[in-house]
Structure 1
Amino acid sequence: MQNQNQQQQGMQNSNQMQPQMNFGGHELFDVHEAMGSVVGTLEHYLLYEEHIQDQQLMSMLQRHRTFLTQLYNTAVNTLKTGQDPAVDTQTYKMEQSNDVIFGMQPSAPKKPSQSVSELNDECISSFMLGQMKALASGFTMTALEATNPVLRRVFQDSIPNLIEMGYEVFLYQNKNQYYQVPQLMQQDMQNYTNSFAPIQGTMPH
């Protein structure tokens, strides 16, 4: 009987927690890892600046840094209070057009750079894309199992922005032939695009 009373008391205490304590342990581990990735990305972006030659890539990197800094501050604010942040999640708008160049052009085989002086815009943009992909994955995993509804929403709403930034880098790489996109032969492409059919009739209840 005493154990049952203690359990009930424990449940009441957990329900009456202050908003800033309304986090699960698993959630905090995921948040810590995701936020650490944002910190790492921002610090890496600082290192990239001195190696960038193309002004368009420099502008993109600086816009990413500005946006990620605000995203970071919004998440930190929510993590500290458990409540709505002072600045809501923003919407990132990329400046690249959505046109993709298809096909392969001959290029020299790639190999790792052997000195810092060999790092160029192709290397830097590739690093940026890799970090955006990692952030989008980390934020998705965090949002899927977050218990605090406000913090979950911050991470969830940030995912489309991270995807947009990653896609912007991909488009930049594609236009500069750093990221080439091969296509299948016409017949093979049609076989794949026609390989699924819609469900007919009424949906099951």
Structure 2
Amino acid sequence: MAAHYGAHEVMEIHEILSDTIDGINQFQLYRPHVKDHQLRSILDKQLQFMTQEYNNMVQAINQRGITQAVPYRVPRTATPVYGLNNPDTQTPNTSIHDMDDRDVASGMLGCHKASAAFRMMASLECADLELRRMIQQGAINCAEQAYEVWQYMNQKGYYQVPTMKDVTTSTMINTYSPASTGQIRQYQ
């Protein structure tokens, strides 16, 4: 591996593989706390995908035969629910026995969000185009997995989406207008 990759690439792939192991281990710790069948199904599917993606990355760097990373497919099951509807007060658990489906889903979401950002940053340090694309696809996969968990949380009321007054939203959005291509001067 060392002869084909730069120092940044070696360190980044080391960090990504370690992060992936941590995520797999974290999800395994969550599993006994899941009560909801739908959440268990999401966790199991994602855990299987994360393990396969890890194995693919290890194989790709060890055999120098990087192939296209497999994209994670998220079923779009429902329209997001916007607005706040009497959100529950949040406090830390006092015991591991207090962990519930909301805690598990929130932990899963946080794991995927952090991994997506981490992988995208790591891809920016890659000189090898194939490795770069594999890591970028990994970032997209984490973002898709995060969205799947977010959909579950939103539908259960665990993750509510605050909104602004219509006039505020409209004012913010309407402060931007398209650029005129005539404004862009070409330098010669």
Q: Same fold (TM over 0.5)?
A: yes
Quick check: 1:20–1:79 contact (8 Å CA) kept in 2? no
Give deviations 1:23-58, integer Å, cap 9, x for gaps: 111221121111111101101111111100111001
Query: What is the letter of the counterpart of residue 109 of structure 1?
Result: T
Q: Quick one: which of 172, 181, 185 aligns to 1:201?
A: 181
Task: State the identity as a percent.
Answer: 28
Q: Quick one: which of 49, 69, 81 aligns to 1:67?
A: 49
Q: Quick one: which of 95, 119, 122 aligns to 2:102?
A: 122
Between 72-81 and 188-197, report the one with greater CA deviation: 72-81
Q: Which runs of 5+ in 1 are unaligned?
A: 1-18
Task: Tell me the TM-score normalised to structure 2 length.
Answer: 0.92
Corresponding position of 1:150: 130
Corresponding position of 2:146: 166
Between 126-135 and 100-109, report the one with greater CA deviation: 100-109
Q: How far has the Cα of 1:81 moved from its partner?
A: 2.5
Q: Sort the Cα spacing of 1:33 and 1:84 in 2 relative to 1 into closer, same or farther, 3 A.
A: closer
Q: Quick one: which of 11, 32, 45 aligns to 1:50?
A: 32
Quick check: 1:45–1:61 contact (8 Å CA) kept in 2? yes
Give deviations 1:90-120, integer Å, cap 9, x for gaps: 1211134251101111133211001111000
In structure 2, how many angstroms separate the alpha carbons of the residues matched to 1:177 and 1:70? Answer: 31
Query: What is the letter of the counterpart of residue 111 of structure 1?
Result: T
Between 29-38 and 52-61, report the one with greater CA deviation: 29-38
Corresponding position of 1:14: none
Corresponding position of 2:80: 100
RMSD: 1.6
Corresponding position of 1:30: 12
Q: How far has the Cα of 1:204 moved from its partner?
A: 4.2
Structure 2 counterpart SS, 1:21? coil
Quick check: 1:139–1:159 contact (8 Å CA) kept in 2? yes
Corresponding position of 1:177: 157
Q: Which has the larger radius of gyration?
A: 1
